[in-house]
Structure 1
Amino acid sequence: MLAEGIGSSAEAAILVDGKLDEPEWAQARRYDDFKVTEPFRLSAPDAGTSTQARMISTPDGIAVAFTVEQSAATPRVKPRLERDQGNAADIVNFMIDFDGDGRTAYSFTVGLSGSIQDEVISNENQVNLDWDTDWTSAVTESEAGWQVELLIPWSVAPMRGTDTPTRTVAVYFGRALGSNGEWQAFPAVTPARGRFVSGFERIEIPQYRKALFHYWPYLTARHDLIEGRAYYKGGVDAFWKPSPNFQLSATVNPDFGQVESDDLVINFDAVETFFGDKRPFFTENQSIFDLRTPDSGRLIHTRRIGGDADDGSGASDIDAAIKLNGSLGALGYGLLAASEDGEGGRDFYAARLQYPIRPGLNIGWLGTHTERPTLDRSAQVQAFDLSWKPNEALIINAQVLASFIDLRGVEVDDSGGWMRVNWTPSNSWSYELEATHFGSQLNFDDLGFQRRAGLNEVELTGVYIHRVEDPSARLRSSQWSTELQARSNDHGDRLPTYLLLGNNYRFRSGNRVNLYASLISAGWEDLISRDNGLWRSSGRYRAEAEFVSRRYGDWTFGASFTLPPLGLSATPARELALSANWYPSDAFNASFAFGPDRTRDWLVWEGGRNFGRYSRRGDSASLNLSWFPGLKHELRLKSEWLAIRADNGERYQLQPSGQMLATGQARPDFDINNFGLQLRYRYLLGPQSDIFLAYSRGGFRRQDRDEAGAADLFDDALGLRDSDQLLAKIRYRF
């Protein structure tokens, strides 16, 4: 139930210390009608686990407090975690949609240990963890439970309509129990369903105007242990917010983020692997540019900026970049420009507009332009999007886009569009209908991330949630889902049709079991040969069983077994993944993972119409250690190993008829080895200010040889040394 206080604003500052002893908290709005949403039961929390949230608007920002009851019957789980590390823990969560229109929400999470997580949620339930902003929190603990205070500055996000004394926002409060994974929330909505952000509680609060200016100089020193040389780099980021409806960010010679290491991937697919961005300039106030397509594409993928240069000289240096966010009345806008250095450098430009026609109906436009002089190529993308929520049960999203490419004087233009309808008629049932058309020449990869062009697809999904009413039952809820995907390319070739079935079980203990199966019809595969012909694949299937455990003492466990189709026959491969997390103390945690895979039928593209068919043995392992010796100190070891051994190879050739025919030519055995290690120390100087010391080493090798075992490959991996460096970085906010 929501209980109004005598007001919802405070002129005096609130000291964020987790104690809730300021008299202003007596004026705050209070929320205590939390329901269990994971498992999706919508029942009141068990005795001894109640939660109350409070919220108040202050000149410094939005102040939020949680009073959490946690009796001795519910174990407290409070490991220290790195920022945005989502391991099992007791946490509270506050989300706010500053414009109250259901388009974008900002999420702030605090753990019982004081660890934090922040993220941006767009398109109802799409999460971006790359965002790290400046906010304050504190936790205090007692025998009865714990308390949390948060202060969210007015500067964390651009807002429309800032020239009025009040504004309408939408808010959400959540709490998770680390011992069993239960999630409680007000209002009782969940990102697992189609409607989430637009289901937040809308309220009117006082708003305040506050000017802000910060700049962050940084200096990086890198010693290459292979070359025996030292490299130095410096730059500066700046942020200026003279009023709530205008924000300017600028950077000169920004750091590419060497202190953040990507996960290792060995990718033989025709679609590139997506990696997020951790550079502060490209994550702060970026949500207005986060426009996506149904197949996980992004019209702006900031990793393109500062990526590999067009002349093959390696990663590009960025000379400068600038970003504007703001509003003119109800119209929200964003501008982004970046320029790279060097012969292979590029120039990137983007502009974005958003406008609410009326409550529940929003339209937008995005335009991008990329200049690539080395390739004599220029590329433009134009996109119009719509979000309409006619009632509480129905959400309609749509997008129309077009690309205009000029390559050496030859123009190639094409278009596409998609529409998604989410219907949630009850708490048990939800449906989604999605239709997509991408022209065969549509291309937004110059500044975006595109999985494929030339696609006509219709998807229909139905989800049923069964809530077990018996409070003593071991099973709390189960979810059944069915999805049908019918696809063809833009030339009319019918691609394989997918029928996806899912069944998820949530147990009272906190354990989870997930079962998935995909039935795949025969059809044409048009990406596998990289535009060198179509392959007529046979019918096949894919299956997966996954177990995710609750906390058992100091441990959590996970296991999955997958049967994916990787070759010519319907016989799938076998993949096993085992993982464990160990928490011997609140200040130290470790994670381990191991994953072997085996198949006698692995198909690999080897150029043109040529393919190799092999027996494959794969192994992967990772070890991550995190130690927090003090509140401002973090020490992390991250290590990964991936290896593949291929033998019994035979050459196959794709025929014009679409058949794969064996040529009788043997292919040599080969193995691939990939290893990466990073030891990183971080000292928190202050808000958005850090010192990093990091040692990184790793390498990649492919070689033809016979009879290489897993032990041999692991030995070889430890000797890989394509990169071996020491790095020191300081970044300080003034």
Structure 2
Amino acid sequence: MLRFTALLLFLSLVCNSHVQAQKINDAYRLQMKRATSPILIDGVMDEQAWEEAEVASDFFMITPMDTSFAQVQTDVRMTYDDQNLYLIVVNHHLLEGPYMVESLRRDFSFGKNDNFLLFMDPFDDQTNGFTFGANAAGAQWDGIMFNGGSVDLSWDNKWTSKVSNYEDKWIFEAAIPFKSIRYKKGIKEWGINFSRLDLKATEKSGWAPVPRQFPSASLAYTGVLVWDEAPPEAGANVSVIPYLLGGVSKDFESEGETQYRREFGMDAKIALTSSLNLDLTVNPDFSQVEVDRQVTNLDRFELFFPERRQFFLENGDLFANFGYSTIRPFFSRRIGLNAPIQFGARLSGKINKDWRIGAMNMQTGAVDSEGLPSQNFTVLALQRQVGARSNITGILINKQSLNYNPDLESEHPVYSQFNRNAGLEYNLASSNNLWTGKAMLLKSFGPDGTQEGFVHAANLRYASGNLTWNWQHEYVSENYTAEVGFVPRNGFYKISPTVGYRWFPKSEKILSHGPDLGTTFFFNTTGEQTDNTTYAAYNVKWRSQSTFMLWAGYDFVKLQRPFDPTNFSGETLPAGTIHTWRAWGTEYASKPQSLFTYSFSTRMGGYYADGDRYNISTELGYRFQPYVSIAMSTNYNRIVLPEPWNTTNFWLVGPRVDVTMTNTLFFTAFVQYNEQIKNINLNTRFQWRFQPASDLFIVYTDNYLPAPFYTKNRSIVLKFTYWWNV
């Protein structure tokens, strides 16, 4: 494995040695000059400044083919003044008929809406940036960009937009304050691209051409926004975001007393430079964050749920993207999971062209009823760009218990005095994005020499127009511990190669089709094989954007510890037992243009203990666009095993209603019935965005026991937040 890491590093040097003198789409340049008249954000192009602005048009098709100009016409103009960056887009129709949207819900699903998106790289590093946009009904989209093209839509900031609809077009106009974004001071060229999705024409296009195997968000393929002068400094850029909260809750299961909440807290955002930001928080509350979508858990290891809390998101890739999906030395959801956050600070952003920094310190309070001490969490990440788009990142993580003298005779768990991690990671991204990968090292430390372990992992991926392959290997020692991370499994070696191929026929109906093959082997630290999953799949994608996949797989498991194959009964299979089975299944998703959409997946085949498992999942949706969207998801598992388990049936049902009265007034209600954990969860949320980034929330939550039906707990919260630019 160390030899392969050396090979990865050698290949990365080879790829980066061919860095082009200029970026790929440097010839696509949009000249932008200062506005000559005031601009009113009303979705009407009637200002003198727009008449004088240069037009970006002649978009290139990305899908279904990437070898010609787009059929759907899009015209983009940009300008600016001392406070805002302005954008107006005329989205012409190719075919008659109404636009296609889900609703007015913010941060909509890209593939299910006629939309226009702006991707910008204000650091001109082809790695980090921001995205803004709207669907044809006016729902806003905003997010931060990282890793050269990934987008986190949980990020939310202050900006304004308006969409106007006409018979032959729709117009999107926006004002993005310089205070809401981070950018490199003094440069006159930003990376930029524009993306248009028209579902009636089933065409995705971009101003600067992007190969179809990459997302239109790929910053490696941005054109250039050329300023007539360096962007104006944002000036004093301090935002204070206080909140007031009132709530009431009651735990009926424990017959507890009614609990009342009267809380106040505050966040602050201080721009130290145009590209470096300091975030502060005191007594934060995240009650308005939507609860996690439940799943039927038949896995032997902990499941991952993404971070949704706003405070942790800006430049969050510096902390959260270190490692792999199951080797994360830092996972922010560990902070404040079982204890209140008292205060915190986070410094993040660009120091200069080549260096980024992320530093975080969070303090939680003690929970005496659990014997949990007050704890401090500190994370420091430093990233250096190398080559065209690659970087090297170092990270230090420390979790420290404060004033902690555990009583070894009490029933409370004994928490460690501290846990620390140090790591180094190289991320490869070639200038044309064909080659990507990473190589990483991690070391953990604990008190008295405990919890000391080591991690090494690497992967190398190649993605051309037709062929995609990836090699990945991992090693996690038995004693490696990341108490602030997500590492559900340790004491293993892992090898995982995959390969896929796509044909793009000259067909009026089929866009692409082709196979995927992959296998994953796990070995324990003595070299004994413990797991293997091997699969073959065939994928078909139609020009209408509907998709189908047929797969077959083989599984081998030698249990390293006892395991309940139902994760429900309490009866376990003994460690050391060997289990093998074969299975097959299908997946299908209908075209997103229809008002009624549906998808399903199936699985049939073997399971542990020579048993069988049958699964079917469905998702049905109907929309009364753009105001109401109704969805119903179901997941059914039937597990047939010998005694003592016999036959077990699990239902997971989740109806959901989204009502978007305007693009500032939202109501969401959903129910989750989970038979595996015997719970019915009702969650409703009303949100009124009375000013940009300022909200009033009313959140009501109930949890019930299905049979006999009674309330387990109930709560209602009223929360008011206001974004104030000092």
TM class by shorter chain equals 0.7 to 0.9
Q: Secondary structure at the match of 1:496?
A: strand
Q: For each residue in 1:397-424, what CA deviation from the matched residue of structure 2 results, as whole angstroms up to 9, or x when unmatched?
A: 32433233324x3433222222222223
Cα 1:389–1:733, aligned 2, differ >3 Å: closer, same or farther? Answer: closer
Q: Which runs of 5+ in 1 are unaligned?
A: 309-315, 604-611, 645-671, 702-712
Q: Report the CA distance between 1:372 and its aligned residue.
A: 2.9
Q: Which residue of 184, 195, 198 corresponds with 1:174?
A: 195
Contact 1:681–1:692 (CA<8 Å) still a contact in 2?
yes
3-state SS in 1 of match to 2:43: coil
What's 1:474 paired with? Answer: 509
Q: Give the structure 1 partner of residue 224 of structure 2.
A: 203
How far apart, in 1, do the equivalents of 2:378 and 2:681 lie? 34
d(CA) in 1 for partners of 2:289, 2:262 = 15
Alpha-carbon distance, 1:340 to partner? 0.6
Equivalent of 2:589, from 539, 548, 568? 548
Instruction: Indicate the larger mover: 242-251 or 550-559.
Output: 550-559
Structure 1 counterpart of 2:101:
78
Matched, 1:728 2:679: no
Counterpart of 1:323 in structure 2 is 346
Contact 1:180 1:510 in 2 (8 A): no
| 690-699 or 105-114: bigger deviation | 105-114
Q: Is the 8 A contact 1:175 1:183 kept in 2?
A: yes
Q: 1 CA distance for matches of 2:37 and 2:417?
A: 57
- Measured against aligned partners, the alpha-carbon deviations of 1:101-122 in whole angstroms (never above 9, x if no partner) come to 3433433331111112333443
1:360 deviation in Å? 3.2
The offset of 1:334, in angstroms, is: 1.6
Aligned to 2:5: none
Q: Residues 365, 336 of structure 1: CA spacing in aligned structure 2 closer, same or farther, 3 A cutoff?
A: same
**SS of the residue aligned with 2:312?**
helix
Pick from 519, 523, 545: which aligns with 1:488?
Answer: 523
2:655 pairs with 1:623: yes
- Distance (Å, rounded) in 2 between the aligned partners of 1:638 and 1:175: 31
Mapped to 2, the partners of 1:602 and 1:370 lie a distance apart of 45
Q: CA deviation at 1:215?
A: 0.7
In the alignment, is the contact (CA less than 8 A) between 1:104 and 1:124 conserved in 2?
A: yes
SS at structure 2 position matched to 1:273: coil
Match of 1:144 among 149, 152, 168: 168
Q: 2:90 aligns with which of 67, 73, 87?
A: 67
Q: Is the 8 A contact 1:304 1:448 kept in 2?
A: yes
Equivalence for 1:354 = 383
- Report if the CA contact (8 A) 1:4-1:28 is conserved: no
**Deviation, structure 1 residue 195:** 11
Task: Give the conservation status (yes or no) of the 8 Å contact 1:89–1:179.
Answer: no
The alpha carbon displacement at 1:217 in A equals: 1.1
Q: Does 1:110 align with 2:138?
A: no
**In 1: Cα distance, 2:129 partner to 2:31 partner:** 27
- Give the structure-2-normalised TM-score: 0.84
Moved more, 616-625 or 356-365: 356-365
- After superposition, the Cα gap between the structure-2 partners of 1:195 and 1:259, relative to the gap in structure 1 and judged at 3 Å, is closer
**Aligned equivalents of 1:383 and 1:450: distance in 2?**
14
- Tell me the equivalent position of 2:418: 378
Note the aligned Cα RMSD (angstroms): 3.1
**1:437 paired to 2:471:** no
Cα distance between partner residues in 2 of 1:173 and 1:559: 33
Partner amino acid for 1:692?
Answer: F
C-alpha change, 1:509 and 1:203, in structure 2 (3 Å) is closer
Map of 2:239 onto structure 1: 214
1:653 alignment partner in structure 2: none
Equivalent residue in structure 2 for 1:558, among 599, 602, 612:
599
**Who is 2:550 aligned against?**
515
Shift of 1:629: 2.9
Report how many aligned residue pairs link the two structures.
Answer: 664
Corresponding residue for residue 411 of structure 1? 450
1:688 deviation in Å? 1.3
Q: Aligned pair 1:119/2:156, yes or no?
A: no
Aligned letter for 2:613? A
- Which of 638, 652, 666 is the aligned partner of 1:598? 638
Answer whether contact 1:455 1:489 (CA < 8 A) is retained. Answer: yes
**Secondary structure, in 3 states, of the residue corresponding to 2:333?**
helix
Counterpart CA distance in 2 for 1:303 and 1:97 is: 28
Aligned pairs for 1:328-343 within 5 A: 328-330=351-353, 331-343=355-367
Separation (CA, whole Å) in 1 of partners of 2:391 and 2:717 = 46
> What amino acid does structure 2 have at the position aligned with 1:729?
K
Check conservation: 1:389, 1:396, Cα contact below 8 A.
Answer: yes
Instruction: Give the deviation of 1:12 after TM superposition.
Output: 6.1
Structure (1 or 2) with the greater strand fraction: 1
Aligned position for 1:34: 60
Q: Please tell me whether the aligned partners of residues 179 and 551 of structure 1 are also in contact (alpha carbons under 8 angstroms).
A: no
Give the 3-state SS of the residue equivalent to 1:199 in structure 2: helix
SS for the counterpart of 1:595 is: strand
Q: CA deviation at 1:14?
A: 4.2
Deviation digits for residues 594-623 of structure 1 (CA, Å, limit 9, x no counterpart): 2222121289xxxxxxxx633111112111
The answer on whether the counterparts of 1:124 and 1:194 sit within 8 Å (CA) in structure 2 is no
* C-alpha contact 2:77 2:88 (8 A) present in aligned 1: yes
Q: TM-score with structure 1 length normalisation? A: 0.83
Equivalent position amino acid for 2:579 in 1:
S
1:491/1:94 CA distance change after superposition, 3 Å? farther
Corresponding residue of 1:253: 283
The 8 Å contact of residues 3 and 29 in structure 1, kept in 2 or not, is answered as: no
Instruction: Tell whether the 8 Å contact from 1:80 to 1:114 is kept in structure 2 after alignment.
Output: no
SS at match of 2:56: strand
**Residue type of the alignment partner of 1:490:** T
- Kept in 1, the 8 Å contact 2:651–2:674? The answer is yes
- Could you say which residue in structure 2 is the equivalent of 1:663? none
1:298 partner letter? R
Residue of structure 2 in register with 1:578 after alignment? 618
Provide the rounded CA distance (Å) in 2 between the counterparts of 1:506 and 1:484: 23
Deviation at 1:732, TM superposition (A): 0.9
Residue by residue over 1:536-587, the C-alpha shift from the partner in whole angstroms, topping out at 9 and shown as x without a partner, is 4333233321121125753111122123654222x54111122211113421
* Farther off after superposition, 557-566 or 54-63: 54-63
Aligned counterpart, 2:303:
273
Compute the displacement of 1:16 (Å). 3.0
User: 1:61–1:354: structure 2 CA closer, same or farther, 3 Å change rule?
Assistant: farther
Q: Does residue 235 in structure 1 map to residue 265 in structure 2?
A: yes
- Show the counterpart of 1:164: 186
Aligned partner of 2:560 in structure 1 is: 526
Conserved 8 A contact 1:383-1:399:
no
Assess if the C-alpha contact under 8 Å between 2:581 and 2:608 holds in 1.
no
Work out which structure has the larger RCO, using CA pairs closer than 8 Å and 6 or more positions apart in sequence. 2
- Partner amino acid, structure 2, of 1:203: V
Give the conservation status (yes or no) of the 8 Å contact 2:144–2:314. Answer: no
Match of 2:3 in 1: none
| Structure 1 residue aligned with 2:155 | 131
Residue 249 of structure 1, CA deviation: 0.8
- Counterpart of 2:393 in structure 1 is 364
Where structure 2 has 5 or more consecutive residues not aligned to the other structure, the ranges are 1-24, 405-414, 565-571
Please name the residue that 2:465 is paired with.
427
How far has the Cα of 1:247 moved from its partner?
1.4
Structure 1 residues 551 and 400: CA distance shift in structure 2, 3 A: closer
Label 1:247 to 1:468 Cα distance change in 2 as closer, same or farther (>3 A): same
- 1:88 corresponds to: 112
Deviation at 1:245, TM superposition (A): 3.4
Asked whether the 8 Å contact 2:211–2:465 carries over to 1, the reply is no
Within the candidate set 298, 311, 328, 1:298 is matched to 328
Task: Give 3-state SS (helix, strand or coil) of 2:247's partner.
Answer: strand
Contact residue 12 and residue 58 of structure 1 kept, 8 A: no
